[in-house]
Structure 1
Amino acid sequence: MASSELAELRRQLDDLLDAGLIQPLKAPYGVPVLFQKKHYGSMRMCVNYRTLNKLTNAPATFCNLMNDVLHEFLDNFVVVYLDDIVLPDFEKPFEVHTDASDHAIRGILLREGHPITYESRKLKDTEQRYSTHEKEMTAVVHCLET
């Protein structure tokens, strides 16, 4: 790592420590860090947690913790998905796009053209015999209920 990047890493870590967002840890684990220059000159720290996540199962731990902490708000205006917390703005419209094949149904929740979440499942044996229209409606009902 270049000396300028090392100084930037120390500065950003000190800022996060001072804000109480992280705490010192003397674990034998580390993660790769790189910096991406932003368009206005500052540096964005990019951390690759994949290897550490394999050792600690951090996404599941985070998701469980957030589900516990935010339990009373879940499905009202908060959604916890793996390592993301989504706070929807109900002033803007959502779109639900659904589709069905001979074997599965799926749906995508979009906001301003950007995907928010994805849902899919296999069709049951009896559902596989539905007409195309019935499969499409099964996808709509399933996605809106989920």
Structure 2
Amino acid sequence: MSLPKLEELQKQLKELLDAEFIRPSKSPIGAPVLFLKKHDGSLRICINYRALNKIIIKNRYPIPLIVDLFDQLGSARWFTKLDLRSRYHQSRIPEGDEPKTACVMCYGSYEFLVMPFELTNAPATFCTLMYNVLQPFLDRFVVVYLDYIVVYSKSHEEHVEHLREVFQTLPHCGRRQDSVDESKIRAIVDWELPTKVTELRYFLGLANYYWRFIEGYSKITKPLIDLLKKDFSKPYEVHTNALDYSIGGVLVQVEHLVAFNSRKLNETEQRYTV
């Protein structure tokens, strides 16, 4: 596995452990781990459960056809689509069955505490869960397809009430929010103290990307931004020096070196008188 993939594996492994979706395993079996490229070019861990899926008793719960769902939306004028995050990970693996989901990688063996995406029964199991939870609303103002929930209504007032009922049934759901990756926050917190203007400018450029997540960002960064400005309030001094073969100079302010400059004299210049 290449170095970039190893780094990505470490990152996603930590996320799964922190979320308590997996735990270290001592299972005698283990499925191999590989990467799949997503539509946006990013990589996602994929567990090859081919052998396990062959012996699993199949859940024959019927997944609805999209065409049939469209028929229910015919007279509606207001629609809201709800997309459940980490859909299959919201279902708990029955206690005692966790070792069956073990996967093996270069960083050890791990087993899932929640339902992995790659299990053959994952879609049907999740559909069963969604249908049980939203049963009172199905075919009235809600349709469910895998992890997508569509709320539909004929009027705005009716739609608001329908959404309220769905949200009260799904207490942990909420509006989609932008958030900052914890690794990005850690990179800024652990940033080495800038000692040059170029380093400070680079740091501010990185931090500025997240300005809308930081209350009072302009007030906090003002002292740093002021350091980028040239200070003309202090007097300048130019110190020069000449040797037989070179000349040089330094521009200074009080207790501060601004810039150095020097160059070698050519043969003609070396014959000049002082």
Do Structure 1 and Structure 2 share a fold, with TM-score over 0.5? no
Per the normalisation by structure 2, the TM-score is 0.25
TM-score, normalised to structure 1, is: 0.40
Higher relative contact order (CA 8 A, sep 6+): 2
**Rg larger for:** 2
Identify, as 1 or 2, the structure richer in strand.
Answer: 1
